[in-house]
Structure 1
Amino acid sequence: MPTHSVTRTQETAATRNETARPIPKEAFDWYDEYAHGMINRREFMTRLGTLGLSMAVLTSALLPDYAQAEQVSFNDPAIKASFLNFASPKGHGECQGYFVTPRELDTTAPVVLVVHENRGLNPYVKDVARRLAKKGFIAFAPDALYPLGGYPGNDDEGRSMQRGMERAKLEEDFIAAAKFIKGHEKSSGKLGAVGFCFGGYIVNMLAASMPDELDAGVPFYGSPAAEELRAKVKGPLMLQFGDLDKRVNATWPDYEATLKQNEARYTAHFYEEAMHGFHNDSTGRYAPENAELAWRRTIEFFNQELS
């Protein structure tokens, strides 16, 4: 693997997410602003009202439909899913995560921390953990909201709950989770991490906070760690970006300059016509071909770095 590389991938018109095309891109941009606390719900709904489309059409494209998005059932006979508690003395004390293993796990396997978006451990992220277990990894997906009772079953409420938590303690919880799962009796001692949005930021933060313990990181559309920490990042990282994600992509030039200065190993992939959240198959932002390619690259990267 070269020290660093950047690629751009174009999704063909034949396989682009057709259901999202009738919705103006501004709607998705406004949803991103709303989801990240830049505008409130009233402002978000007011802006949607200016588009001249029915609110039912808009909300069906923008809001998640988890029942339709499941790829691996929790009843899949190839995996075994449960919950494990772990200690986070510098964070919120006792925390919990979704623990998924291949059912026929006779020895040990590489472990992958799966980090959710800014709304707690929703069904999409649990499904991602099950997908990893189907590929032979041990997956562990912490729920940042566990100290408050756990993911509430509603993304809006979960987002509000997570926004009210102390950021430094949340970060310590994920550091504790990474160390916990790396030291698990079934762990081979190799640790990977994959995260989405806020979770992508957490992967970048882990790469900076525990560079000698994280063996491979894949942040999907995640911003970098605090500037004072970035000098510690050495990789390997595989960074996944949607070309239309202006907010996150604006952070990339400075981050890449630091990675080059660090002589870190990294690969960055940019997917044309892809928005923030393009891997999330529960919403209209989902771009099937790009998501499949990004996930295939992720699995290949983990196989290479964690074997």
Structure 2
Amino acid sequence: MQSPGPEFDSLLPPLVLNRRGFITTSLASGFALAAGPIAAQTVVRTDDQGLVAGEVRIPVEGGEIPAYRAMPAGRKQAPVILVVHEIFGVHEYIKDVCRRWAKAGYLAVAPQLYARQGDPSQYQEIPRLMSEVVAKAPDEQVMADLDATARWAAGHGGSRTRLGVTGFCWGGRVVWLYAAHNPAVKAGAAFYGPLTPKPTALQPLAPVDVAAQLKAPVLGLYGGQDAGIPLTSVNAMKDALAKGSPAARASTFVLFRNAPHGFHADYRPSYRDAEAKEAWTLARDWFAQRL
């Protein structure tokens, strides 16, 4: 395999560290409280045999943020997948997703993108979590932290040229934005991320707003029974992609007509086994062809 060159670093904005007493906590153990009762009978549990897995620290502007990393033991220059969490942050489900990608040969890393706003695992009510943490995470900060995570991965066993991004719900929205932000990304897979949310001062753009500027093709995996993401939203995104860049036009949607929002979240009642497994296979094939 050809050794990666310096072009990856040149594609990312320069990393500026400013240590102003930045304080972060460790990642949650178990599942986030606001996720509700855990459907233990359907939880997928992936072991770490043959992997290097655990919590790491990512240098970002102002200090460090915690992240969960999993990769094949002894593997060098593994393709990298950034895993973007749901509103609940990096908890056991997201950690397990990282281990699943590692078992497939990737360095998967999930940064805690709310580290400056609070600890999402300790919230018991979703409305409070949304207003006090999620809504206060600026898109600009999220993009910069993902850039920093990609850099960290490239210096810790990951490839500098083979970079993908995937995410769920809130993280699915971020996948679309990041595929438009970072020219180093080669592919994305968005699980039921909102496509046309109302803009806010801190989160001013929706995926439909940046669709035409995608720098990497994205696979959209969506549920036909998702009450929060209607088919009109999906169709609007398809129209925007069709008028965009080559990467935008290469993007595609798979709609699971009988699946609700969160159909891949095996720890929640929304989980749908058949659709989740099919979506995972599609995402795995999507990345295998592009990374």
TM range (shorter): 0.7 to 0.9
Residue 251 of structure 1, aligned match among 233, 243, 260: 233
- Indicate whether 1:300 and 2:255 are aligned: no
Q: How much does 1:229 deviate?
A: 3.1
1:143 to 2:112 alignment: yes
Is 2:157 the partner of 1:176?
A: no
For 2:102 and 2:122, locate their aligned partners in 1 and report how far apart those are by CA, in whole Å: 23
Q: CA deviation at 1:151?
A: 4.4
Count of aligned residue pairs for this structure pair = 240
- Conserved 8 A contact 1:112-1:193: yes
Could you tell me how far apart the structure 2 residues matched to 1:100 and 1:86 are? Answer: 14
Q: Which of 1 and 2 has higher RCO (CA within 8 Å, sep 6+)?
A: 1
**Alpha-carbon offset, residue 230 of structure 1:** 3.1
Deviations along 1:199-225, one digit per CA (max 9) or x if unpaired, are: 000100101111x21111000111245
Contact 1:65–1:282 (CA<8 Å) still a contact in 2?
A: yes
Structure 1 residue aligned with 2:242: 260
Conservation of the 8 A alpha-carbon contact between 1:86 and 1:180:
no
Q: Residue 83 of structure 1: CA displacement?
A: 2.0
8 Å CA contact retained: 2:88, 2:121: no
| Residue 123 in structure 1 maps to residue 96 in structure 2 | no
Gaps of 5+ in 2: 1-34, 196-204
Structure with more helix by fraction = 1
Mapped to 1, the partners of 2:63 and 2:39 lie a distance apart of 30
2: CA distance between counterparts of 1:68 and 1:125? 18
When normalised by structure 2's length, the TM-score is 0.74
Deviation at 1:98, TM superposition (A): 0.5
Kept in 2, the 8 Å contact 1:244–1:272? The answer is: yes
Q: Is 1:237 the counterpart of 2:218 in the alignment?
A: yes
Normalising by structure 1, report the TM-score.
Answer: 0.70
The correspondence for 1:289, drawn from 268, 271, 274, is 274
Q: Are the structure 2 counterparts of residues 234 and 259 from structure 1 closer, same or farther at C-alpha, using a change threshold of 3 Å? A: farther
Q: Pairwise CA RMSD of aligned residues? A: 2.5
Taking structure 1 as reference, are residues 149 and 66 closer, same or farther at Cα in structure 2, changes over 3 Å only? farther
Mapped pair 1:220 → 2:191? yes
Paired with 1:268 and 1:239, the residues of 2 have a C-alpha distance of: 4
Give the counterpart letter for 1:125 in structure 2. Answer: I
Structure-2 separation of matches of 1:176 and 1:67: 35
Distance 1:221 1:182, change over 3 A: same
Distance 1:162 1:217, change over 3 A: same
